[in-house]
Structure 1
Amino acid sequence: MGKPHIGEVDYLRVSGLITVVVIHAWGFYLLMPVNSPYSRIAKELGVNLLRFGRQIFMFITGLVLFYNYSGRKINLPRFFSRRLKNLAIPYIIWTALYLFLKRSSGMVNWTGFGGFLALWWQNVLNGNGYSHLYYILVAIQFYLIFPWLVVFFKPRRPGMTAEIITWLGLALYALYFYLLEVRQDLIWAAVAGTPLAGITGWFLLYKDRLIFSYFPYYLLGALAGLHLDSWRRWLQDHLEVVLAFLVLAAGLVASEYFYYYRHQGQPWALTISVFKPSIYLYSLAIITVLFQLSFYLERRGSLRWLVSPLAANSLGIYLLHPAVLFIFNSYFWKYMRLPGFLLAVLEPAAAVVISGAVSALLGSNRYTRFIIGEAGNLKNSFLLGKLQAVVKLPLGGKA
């Protein structure tokens, strides 16, 4: 689009992707009996401290879109047609595929083709096709409002705007967590028997897949995209402060886990809630630190051979990896005679590699590219590009 590619975004995207895969892999082991209590604590605490993948993706989405489209007139038909092809259609397809996967394990059932269509459409609307598809639904909502948001969101004082967004986000998540989650009974008592009961129940059920619930991450990413050079300088000038804040935020998250969950017996759902104020602050800190680290790695070209294909196939990996984990855990886990700590590392790695390979394979064919959307529209193999450059062959297809 006439603007230089933001190389550090690839590193940041891959960081978020890996944490998502690890959490989904470790979630299975948390359901299994563990001989050593320390092993369970390590996995539970790891899940707590790795719950920033979606926040990274949201920050990146805001950054890249505002970086590319600010100051430009958006061709709305072209903008929405690309999002339909690159995100909405794959989402619809994978919702159907995961329903069949869930049916194979008895998690859902339907009668006849009409029953399937009704259930499929319901899951397309609510994002319940599988545990990770809610994020695609949130992203689609952001794309729908973006052309109007980019017109009006033009802050003249980005520093002050960032502070306002950060504090308003903290207030939002304090409200979400302490009222809508911890004291949800108060909400139900207030609306019981009133016309608000229905819409309140709907909001409490689906608040984790509404764009409004994650607006701070998108807007902070938008600010970074609008003022990219200033954002980079700010990170370099304040890295020590941000690192100290990250340590404090991580300590707060860990302390809450030991006190509220291990000591007081808080429900696990509250312990890992992404709406906890501590998780919000921790996520912002980790995003800033990882962005600076990504900038450093990009300048040095470190791991570019690995990061490029993973970033290019990130959507495909995101869509595919739960199916890979499902198959692995359903059919292969019981035959593995490896220590638990080794499986905890090898399984996420295998899921990334297998999902990435399948994504690249689907994306390399114009007849299957629509299944994974965005990944099929990228030059998704850095190694392939190098090889073609050596043998003087042109890249096939358009990015």
Structure 2
Amino acid sequence: MSTAITRRDKIPELQLVRAFAIIGVLSVHSTSFATVEMMNYPHASFLYNFFNIFMKFGTPTFILLSSFVLFYNYYSRPLDRSLIGGFYKKRLLYIIIPYLLFSLVYFVNYRIHSSTALSAGETLRQLWQDVATGTANTHLYFVFISIQFYLLFPLFLWLLKRFPALAACAVPIGIAIQWAFVLVNKYGLAEPVPNKGSWSLSYFSYYFMGAALGIYFPRIKNWIVMSREHATPVKIAAWTLLWAAWLAAGLSHVYIWHQTRTGAGSYNSLLYEGLWNLHTFLSALVLMQLAFVIYRYVSGPLASVLGHLGAMSFGIYLIHPLFLYYYRLFHPQAGSPYIHVWYLGGFAVALIASWAVVTLTARYVPFNWIIFGSLPKRRTGADKPAHQARKQQTPKQLEA
């Protein structure tokens, strides 16, 4: 059976990758308080630090996936005015409008609970600054840098189509651009740029890896999908090396932050940056492999639930800090025996409440794209277990 797929075939496994990514995001955000408040409890602090650092793959994985999907869907199509117009129309409707709405929501929420009074003019200037820098809430930087990449996407698409050698070198080019920005910002400027994480240059290794995967996916799919029919000694060695390098990078990343937070060590900022980059870069590849394994071999509720979670992940990403904010207003007293249950509850509330709101909005609210972007109207094959989805595939898809 051939594993080649046509350029426009859907890849339902990507919904599972999105599910893993949003779980990573929620894990990091729900443990942010614990990493500080549990500092006097060594065993607990190590555990919270582990989840807070090891799960940092969420946003980088979303970034890589976004680029992957764009290049996978657009690279083989003629680059003309119709394509560019349709591309920007979709980004405006499904990304920028929800971004503007939630920037306003978080800005208003912050002003309501702020003790600092601002005049009407100061309020408008602050709102504009927050929207223009992606800082209305800390998590909105992801949408802000995505918008930056969307502005550049037609240029990148043209360059990689016009010069295929650039596409073949996309990964090292992305790494080089990202690290040039890191090094110039650290050593080449009198004052580092503010909010470095709100610049898309900080994530070019993920964007260009996504581009390479999207362009060459039909050729390299057999290297990504771990299965008996694809297995060769070289591929098994490559898969083993990937997973071993991922674990080593992730655990090293956890270790240096644990040392830093406990006061046992301090390191050059480039080490933190390098381990974060390596850990999260490899995480996206590992999660993609894991998604193919689960989708192919795990039937039943797990694949279905993860598929649905992935389909709702953008909306969950946008709204979950609001639930965390109000949940944390009911912080237990210091030394409470229920503190660990409370921290776990923060993750549960952020996940379940956000998931429920986005799901109900998708089902019952008209024009819901204004709030949460593009949402599925009903359950699709991507939300169903692998064996059910395959029954609905066409013969051509089954050959893939």
Normalising by the smaller structure, the TM-score range is 0.7 to 0.9
What whole-Å deviation, never above 9, does each CA across 1:105-132 have from its counterpart, x for those lacking one? 22764323x4432221111101110010
2:128 equivalent in structure 1: 121
Residue among 13, 23, 26 paired with 1:21: 26
Equivalent residue number for residue 350 of structure 1? 349
List per-residue Cα deviations over 1:36-83 (Å, max 9, x = no partner): 222112212321212121110111011000001112135222221211
1:229: which partner in 2? 218
**Distance of 2:150 and 2:93 partners within structure 1:** 13
Contact 2:160/2:167 (CA < 8 Å) preserved in 1?
no
2:139 is paired with a residue whose SS is: coil
Task: Report 1:1-399 matches (<5 A).
Answer: 3-32=8-37, 36-73=41-78, 75-106=83-114, 109-112=117-120, 114-154=121-161, 156=164, 161=169, 164-165=172-173, 168=176, 171-172=179-180, 175=183, 180=186, 187-188=189-190, 200=191, 204-235=193-224, 236=226, 237=235, 238-266=238-266, 276-302=273-299, 303-331=302-330, 339-364=338-363, 365-375=365-375, 378-379=376-377, 381=379
TM-score (norm 1): 0.80
What is the total number of aligned residue pairs between the two structures?
361
Whole-angstrom distance in 2 between the partners of 1:17 and 1:107: 32
| Residues in 2 aligned to 1:276 and 1:159: alpha-carbon distance in whole angstroms | 26
CA offsets per residue over residues 145-177 of structure 1, 9 Å max, x none?
11221111146469962562475268447626x
**More deviation in 150-159 or 347-356?**
150-159
Determine helix, strand or coil for the equivalent of 1:30: helix
Unaligned runs of 5+ in 2: 1-5, 227-234, 385-400
Please say if residues 174 and 277 of structure 1, whose CA atoms lie closer than 8 Å, have aligned partners that are also in contact.
no
1:278 aligned partner, one-letter code: L
- Give how far 1:134 is off: 1.0
Structure 2 distance, partners of 1:156, 1:2, is 17
Give identity over the alignment, percent: 25
Q: 1:160, 1:354 → 2: CA distance?
A: 43
Work out whether residues 312 and 381 of structure 1, in 8 Å CA contact, stay in contact via their aligned partners in 2. Answer: no
Mapped to 1, the partners of 2:144 and 2:113 lie a distance apart of 24
Return closer, same or farther for 1:333/1:288 CA change in 2, 3 Å cut-off: same
1:259 Cα deviation from its structure 2 partner: 4.5
Which secondary structure state, in structure 1, belongs to the residue aligned with residue 8 of structure 2? coil
3-state DSSP of counterpart to 1:72: coil
CA 1:34–1:362 in structure 2 vs 1: closer, same or farther (change >3 Å)?
A: same
For the 8 Å contact 1:8–1:295, the answer to whether it is kept is yes
Hey, what's the Cα distance between the residues in 2 that align with 1:76 and 1:275? 38
Q: CA deviation at 1:241?
A: 1.2
Deviates more, 1:12-21 or 1:325-334: 325-334
After superposition, the CA RMSD in angstroms is: 3.2
**Structure 1: gaps (5+ residues):** 189-199, 387-399
The TM-score with structure 2 as length reference comes to 0.80
C-alpha distance 381-102 of structure 1, shift in aligned 2 (>3 A): farther
CA contact under 8 A between 1:308 and 1:381: conserved in structure 2?
no
Structure 2 counterpart of 1:70, which letter?
Answer: Y
